[in-house]
Structure 1
C-alpha cells in the first residue's frame, strides 16, 4: 500500500547525453545518469516548458497509484557543461535552456510500441485506461500515437506530458474541471471500454484527497510560477481541479460511454 504522506521522486545527475529522440517538438533524449541507468530525459527548456513536466509527474503518478505499470519517474539534474560540447545547434540551445532540474523516465530497453491490431488489452484494462485519460484530459492516446509500450509481455503507460492541457491557460479552470472530455472519441482503446461504471466506482475509492495532495506535492515549487501569486496557490489549484474532476467523474464517464456507442 502506498503511504499517501511519503510520495517522492529520486533525483539523479545526468552524466552522458546519449541520443535525441526526435518525436514531436519537445526533443526528449536518451541519457545516462550517475546511478548507471538509462533514462528518457524531458527538458524544462523545451517548447511547453515545465507544464509538460508537471503533467508528466501528476499523470504518471496518478496512473501508478491506480495500479498501472509506469516507468519510474525521477528528477534529473543537468549540468551546464552539456550544452558546450553538443554540435547540433538546436539541441545545444535546448540543453543550455534546461540547466538545472529536469524530469526523466526509466528507459525500457527493448520495449515495443503497443499495436492495437496485435494486442487486445481486454474490457477491464481498456476501461481503466480510458477512465484515467478522461480524468487527466489526456489528448495523446490515439491510434496514431498510443503512448503505450509492451515490455516483458506487459502493457506500460508512458508520456503524460500532453495531459491536463487546461493548465496552458488557467482561464475558467473551475468550470473546466466539470466538463466532459470530448476528445475521448479518438482514444485508441475506447471501443473495448465496456466496464467504465465499475472502474469509476473502484478508482474513486483509491484517489482520495490525501493521495491527490501527496502526488501534487511532488511538483517542485520552482516549477509553479506565472499564473498565481504563490506556488502554494498554484499547487492548490491543481489539487482542487483534480478533486473536483474526480467528484464529478460521472460527467466524463457518460461522455466516454456516449462516444463509444457512436463509435461502434
Structure 2
C-alpha cells in the first residue's frame, strides 16, 4: 500500500506524493493555472498532468534524479548539466507566453524592502546586506524578456543517462529574465556554472548571473525563515551571501 509523503507544506501551498503521483494544492489558483498552461507551452520535458481540479493539481512523477539539492554537492555529471543548459536555452528561445512576468521596477522595490527587513529584524549583519545589495544592482539593468521558468531551482530539473527527463514546478513561469533562471539553477553550485553554459551557450554575462545570486538570496531569505525553511544551513542562501564578501 502506498504511503502519503509530505514533500513540502506551508501556508501558501502543499505538495503530497502517493506512489508515482504528486498532488499539489495551492491557495492561489492563478499560480496553478500558470503552471498548467506553462507546461503545455514549454518546449522541454514536463510532468504528465493526471487531472486538474482547482485548487488541486495531480501530476505524474518524472524519471531520473534531480540535478542536486541546495546545500549539498551535485553528483550529476558535467554532461547532465550541459543537457540541462541546452533544455533551458530551448525554453528561452521559445515564443513568449501570453501572460506577463515581473518587471525591473517590481524587482528593485522587492529588493529594497527585503534588505531593509533583513537588517531591521536582525536576520543578517548590515554590512553583509549592503555589500550584496551593491552587487545585486548589476542584475537590475535592462533585459529582453524570454519564456522563463521563474523558479528554476536545482531540485526542479531531472535527468537520466545525461538527458533531461523533466522540469517541474512551473507556477512562477512567465516573461522573465534568462540570467535569473541560470542563476537560480546554479545558486550554491557556482562550480557547475561552466558545465551548464557548455550546453546553454557562453554568450551570457557571468557578472549578471553572480548579481542574481545575491539578489535572489536577499529576496528569498526572510520568506524562507517565515515558512519553516533554513537559509542559514550550510551551502544555502546565507552562505551564498557571505561568499560575496
Larger Rg computed on CA atoms: 1
Same fold? TM cut 0.5: no
Q: TM-score, normalised by structure 2?
A: 0.44
Q: Report 1 or 2 for greater relative contact order, CA contacts < 8 Å, sequence distance ≥ 6.
A: 2
